Amino acid sequence: MTKRIVPILTLLVGTLIMVSCQKEQTPFKMSGRWNAILLHDTINTYDGLWSFNTNDNTFSCPTQQNCNYELTGDHIRLLLDTLMEGNILEKQTNMMRIAFGSDTILYRRIQTGNDTPINGALPHSFTVNDQGNQVLFSKGNLQYNAFDNVWQFAEEQYDTIGFNNSFIGSGNKDFIDLFGWGTSGYEHGANCYQPWSISKFHMDYYVYGQENCNLYDNNGHADWGYNKIDNGGNREGLWRTLTGGPNGEWNYLLNERETKMDLRYTFAIVNSVKGLVLYPDDWVSESFDLDEGCVFLPAAGLRVEKQVDSVNVGGFYWASTRNLEYSSYANSLCFYFDLESSDSIVGAYKANYNGRRREGQAVRLVTDY
């Protein structure tokens, strides 16, 4: 691992936009196909049962169900508004109940097996906490092109930009995939909020202008997953970043999650790229297959300002949570490989790693399942 130098604390140049740091109720991210039932005044009578497909934001009335009236644009807007503005009364993996005005909307997920509910998501699910909440991983690391202002997922799970991240800048015509913490592109209150932002000072990366905020606080705009991902559904709010720290989702995935084969991860080399493989919950083989749903996190390296190192040696993946003790740090996942041999797949990881906010780390988004 390359030794990094901690800068001497210097007065911050620039002005932070100070806003309050409040954890608002996280919007429920619907993926796949759901039935929506309108319950009047919380009484179990409904006006219609509609199927909702998040791939194209459309509702339809199943032929076997006698819908009492046609679902109009106003009804669609009402149902979609509940996702962002409604008060979530109850939420489970495959069901949620939302209060909206005097009405209640009940959503039930249509079980379709290992389908891919959102474009860009891998097909198998991963449990991320002891409440049983599950996510689907994106098909590749997040990438950004400043010249065209385009976000996309890497076409292959092993794809990385590597040392070309050193060309980071607002006029760069190529993609980058190592980002400072909270650089989603939305002006949320930090001095450094653009994906190409570079600074020596960690204070420039205070999301929402506060040192004690997480990416998902306030309106959630500091999370890269809030963006429209060109090959990931192309709609705001479909994706998010996993939480970190000792009680975070990265730690649960790697250290606590139960799987059918009692296998959570392995180190591997894929297409000459070293990385960490995550086995899905329902995986039933000791070998992995990226085409069938295993996740591969490539050792994408680390960027400090415009200097890139540890490519194909170490992987650093941001979490959405800040470090609770030191304001200059945020949580992340770190793994690295033995440097003694170029063919070595002997590695180690730390799920509760902390990176300096100004560092450029990789981002692998998930969507709630």
Q: Which of 112, 146, 162 is the last residue of a domain?
A: 112
pLDDT in tens, 157-187: 999 999 999 999 999 999 999 999 999 999 9
Q: Is the domain of 161 the same as that of 235?
A: yes
Q: Which of 112, 129, 163 is the last residue of a domain?
A: 112
Q: Which of 335, 354, 299, 308 is nearest to 198 (CA)?
A: 308
Q: Is the domain of 74 the same as that of 220?
A: no
Q: Is the pTM of this model over 0.85?
A: no
Separation CA 269–CA 345 (nearest Å): 7
In a domain, 24, yes or no: no
Q: Is the domain of 193 the same as that of 295?
A: yes
Is the pLDDT at 316 greater than 90? The verdict is: yes
Q: Is the domain of 98 the same as that of 141?
A: no
Q: Is the domain of 108 the same as that of 149?
A: no
State CA 32 to chain mean position distance: 17
In a domain, 17, yes or no: no
Q: Is the domain of 97 the same as that of 213?
A: no
**Total of domains in the chain:** 2
Q: Is the domain of 214 the same as that of 327?
A: yes
Look-up of token digits 């495959």: 94
Greater confidence, 100 or 339?
Answer: 339
Q: Is the domain of 145 the same as that of 92?
A: no
Q: Is the domain of 99 the same as that of 185?
A: no
By residue range, what is the domain housing residue 62?
33-112
Separation CA 219–CA 87 (nearest Å): 15
In a domain, 129, yes or no: no
pLDDT in tens, 217-275: 998 999 999 999 999 999 888 899 999 999 999 999 999 999 999 999 999 999 999 99
Q: Which of 79, 112, 145 is the last residue of a domain?
A: 112
Q: Is the domain of 196 the same as that of 71?
A: no
